[in-house]
Structure 1
C-alpha cells in the first residue's frame, strides 16, 4: 500500500470507525476538555473582587490575572499546534490535560500575587497544547460538510457556554467556598477526560519535522511586550519611556516574527494560511470579536458586584440571559447553515452582538438590571450563538491536512492574543475615567470600556462585509453538503 493510500485509509478510519456512537463520544471528550480551557478564561471574573481584596491587586494589576493566562495561551498555541502535527494530536492532547490539571491545582493554592500570576501563565502552557489538539482531532474525525458543521456547532457552543457558565460556576464556588475552588474542580474533570481519551480518541499520523522555536518565542514575547506597554500606559501615560519601550519592542519582535516565518523551512505559521480571503477575514474578525467579548465579561462582572452590590453567585447568575439564549441559538446554527450561506449567518451574529454591546455600554450608576443589562445580554447571547460556529469553520475549512495543526492553532491564537490585547486597551481606557466615588468609578469605567468593546465589534462587522461576505452569493447554500464524505 502506498503512503498516500495509507493516509487516506487512516483518515477514513478515524472518521467512521465505531459509527455515530463513537463519533459522539469523540465529540464529547473534545468538547468537555475544551470547555475546561474556556471555563478558566472566565471563571476568575466573578472572583476578581475577592482576589483583589485577598491579595491587594491594583485595578490594572488585576488584569494580569487574565492576561498572564491568555498571553501564554495565545503565544504558545502555534508551537502547541506544531507539537501535535509532529508528535501526534492524541499524545499531545493527553500530555496537555496532565499539565492543565496540575497547574489548576497550583492556581487554587496561590498565596501571593506573583504565585497566582505565574501559575496562571503555566496553566496557559497546558491550554496552548490542549486547544489546537482538540480542534485538530475534531477536524480529522469529521469530514467537511454536514458532519463537521454539526461538530463545529457543538464545539463553538461550548466556547460560548464555557465563557458564560464560567461566570456562574465561579460565582457559585466563590460565594459558597472560595474563588480557589473553581480551579480545584479541573483536577477530577481532567483525570476523567484522560481515561476517556486513552480509551476512545484516535491517534493521528506523526510527521517528521522541526520545531520553530524562534517563531514561537518572538510571537509570545512580542505580544507580551505590547500588552505590557498598553497596561503601563494606563498608569504612566502613552509618552512615558516605560510605555514606549515595550510597545516599540513588541512591534519590532512581531515584525521579526513575520520575517522568520517567511524564511523558516517549517514555520509554526505557514503564511499560505493567509492566502484565502475568507480565512484571513475570519482571523481578523475573531481577534476583534473575542477581544470585545473579553472586555464584556471582565467589566460587566465587576459592574454588577460593585454597583448593584451583588454576591459573586448573583453576579454569575446575572449572565444567564446571555447563556440561555446563546445555547438555544447555537444548537440551531447547523439548520440555519443549510438554508443560508455561512457568511450571512456570521454577519447576522456579529451585527446582533454589536447592537447588544452598544445598548449595554449606556449603563451608569442608576442603570436598572432588567432593561439596562439583561435585555442587551439577550442580543449579545443570540449574536454569539450565531457567530462562533461559522467563524470557526471559516478559519479551518480548506486547510491542507499537513497544515491542520497550524490552522487550528492560528484560529485559537488570534482568539487569545486578540483577547489579551483588547483587554489591555480597554483597561487603559477605563483607567482614564475617575470620579469621587468607588461605585461611580466602576460604573463610569465599565461604560467606557464597553463602548470600546462596541467599537471593536463595529470593526468586526466591517471586516465581515469586506473580507468574508462573498462578492456573489452561491447558487445554492445546500450544495456544499453534496460532496462525498472523505
Structure 2
C-alpha cells in the first residue's frame, strides 16, 4: 500500500489544501489578468491582437502541453514534478510582472502555461492516489471541483482588487505568495508516487499533439478575420491533420503519451467534452462579461470584479447539495440539468442593454450560471478519473485539465470571431455602447447554445447504472 494511504487522516486533509491551492493558482491565472487588460493595454501599448493573446497564450500552452506534463508526472514522480512546476510558475509570474513590452507579457503568460501543464496533472494525480475511494474521496473531489469551478471567477475578483488598489502587474506578482505556500506545503504534506514498470517517453506523440492543438487554437484565433480566410482554414486543417496523425501514432507505440483506452470510454469521453464546453464559458464568456461591466456600464476594475461575485458564491452554495445528490442519484442527472440551468443564465445575459440595471439584468443571470456550473463541476472531476488505473492517473488528469483549457482557448477565439463579425471590423473606440452591448449579447447567445449542447452530450454519452459511473472500489496505487 502507498505511504500516502497510510498517512494520518489530518495529513491527507492538509495535502488536499495544498493540492486545491495549486488548482486555484492554475485556474484563476486563466482570468486574473482579464479584468486588468484595459490598464495593461494602456501601460504597455498592446494592440487588440496582443490583448487577446495575453489570455490565449496561457490557455494554449497549458492545454497543448498537459498530456506531456501528465506523463512526466507519472514517470519522474508526481511530487517532484509538482515542486518543479511550482518553481517555474513562480519565475514566469515574476517575469510577467516585470514585463516592459506587450510581447514580453505574452511570452510570460505562455511560460506560465508551460509550468501549469506540469503542476495541474501532478496535483490531480496526487489527489487521486491520496483519496482512492469512499466518502473521503467524494469529499476531496467536491472540494477540488468547487475550487476548479470558482477559480476563474475568483481570478476576476482578485484581479479587480489588485488592479484598483495596487497595479495591474500584481495580478502576476501575487502568484509568488501562492507559490511560496505551495512549496512549503508540498514539502511537508505531499507523498511521492510514480508509475511502475518500463516508462518511455512518446516523442512523436508529444510533437504531433502539441503542434496539432497549437495549430487548431491558433486557427480559431484567426477566425476573427473571417472563417473563409485562407490562413484560418490552413491552420484549422493542419491542426486536425496533426491530431489525426497523433491518434494513429498512439495506436502503434508501446508507451503512448495518451493511451487511447483513457478517452475511448464513452462516459469518460463525454466528461471530457463537457469539460471543454465549461472551459469555453468560464474562460471565454466571462472575459466579455468583464468588458461589458467596464466599457459599457463604466465600472472600475474592483467594482467589476465584485460584480462577478454572484457566480462563485452560487457555485459554492450549491456545491454541498450537488455532492449529496451525486451519491444519491449519480452524476448523469446533474450533468443533464446543470448545463441547462447555466444555459438559462447565459440566455438572460444575452438580453443586456446599455442602460440596464445590474441587479435586474446581470446578477440573477450570474446566480443561474453559478448554480448550473456547480452541478457540472462537482461530478466532472470524479467522472473523468473514474476507473483509471494508477499508471494512467497523471495522463487522465491531464486530459481533464487539457479539455478545459483547450475549450477555453477555442471558446475565446470563437467568441472573439462572433464579436468581430457583430461590430463589422470597427475598433472598440469607434463603437457606441449599444453596438458593444449587441456584440456581447450575441456572444452570450452562442455560449448558451454551447451549454445546451453539453446537456445533450450528457444524455447521449454519460449512461449506465449509478454504481458503474461512481465505483467505490479502491484504485490500484503504485508508489515508490
Residue equivalent to 2:116: 127
Work out whether 1:155 is the aligned partner of 2:144: yes
CA distances 1:402-444 after superposition (whole Å, capped 9, x unpaired) = 1111111111111111111111111111111127634334312
Counterpart Cα distance in 2 of 1:61 and 1:427:
13
Give TM-score scaled by structure 1 length. 0.92
Q: Is the 8 A contact 2:386 2:471 kept in 1?
A: no
Work out whether 1:433 is the aligned partner of 2:406: no
Q: Is the 8 A contact 2:70 2:122 kept in 1?
A: yes
- Residue correspondences, number: 470
CA distances 1:24-62 after superposition (whole Å, capped 9, x unpaired) = 101001001211111101101111211222233344432
Q: Is the 8 A contact 2:270 2:461 kept in 1?
A: yes
Work out whether 1:464 is the aligned partner of 2:458: yes
Deviation at 1:277, TM superposition (A): 1.5
Residue equivalent to 1:233: 223
Does 325-334 or 437-446 show the bigger shift?
437-446
Deviation at 1:86, TM superposition (A): 0.6
Residue equivalent to 1:4: none
Deviation at 1:474, TM superposition (A): 4.4
Paired residues for 1:245-394 under 5 Å: 245-394=234-383
Give TM-score scaled by structure 2 length. 0.94
Q: Secondary structure, in 3 states, of the residue corresponding to 2:422?
A: coil
Q: Give the superposed CA RMSD.
A: 1.9
CA distances 1:354-412 after superposition (whole Å, capped 9, x unpaired) = 11111112223233211211001001111111210201111101011111111111111
Q: Is the 8 A contact 1:214 1:260 kept in 2?
A: yes
Deviation at 1:239, TM superposition (A): 2.6
Uncovered stretches (5+) of structure 2, i.e. residues with no partner: none
CA distances 1:141-174 after superposition (whole Å, capped 9, x unpaired) = 0022322111111001111221111111100110
Deviation at 1:484, TM superposition (A): 7.1
Uncovered stretches (5+) of structure 1, i.e. residues with no partner: 1-8
Aligned partner (choices 163, 171, 194) of residue 174 of structure 1: 163
Residue equivalent to 1:79: 68
Work out whether 1:25 is the aligned partner of 2:19: no
Closer, same or farther: CA 455–270 of 1 in aligned 2, 3 Å: same
Q: Secondary structure, in 3 states, of the residue corresponding to 2:214?
A: helix
Counterpart Cα distance in 1 of 2:386 and 2:61:
26
Does 219-228 or 411-420 show the bigger shift?
219-228
Residue equivalent to 1:449: 443
Aligned partner (choices 212, 217, 223) of residue 222 of structure 1: 212
Does 300-309 or 217-226 show the bigger shift?
217-226
Closer, same or farther: CA 439–334 of 1 in aligned 2, 3 Å: same
Q: Secondary structure, in 3 states, of the residue corresponding to 2:258?
A: coil
Deviation at 1:485, TM superposition (A): 8.9
Counterpart Cα distance in 2 of 1:51 and 1:424:
20
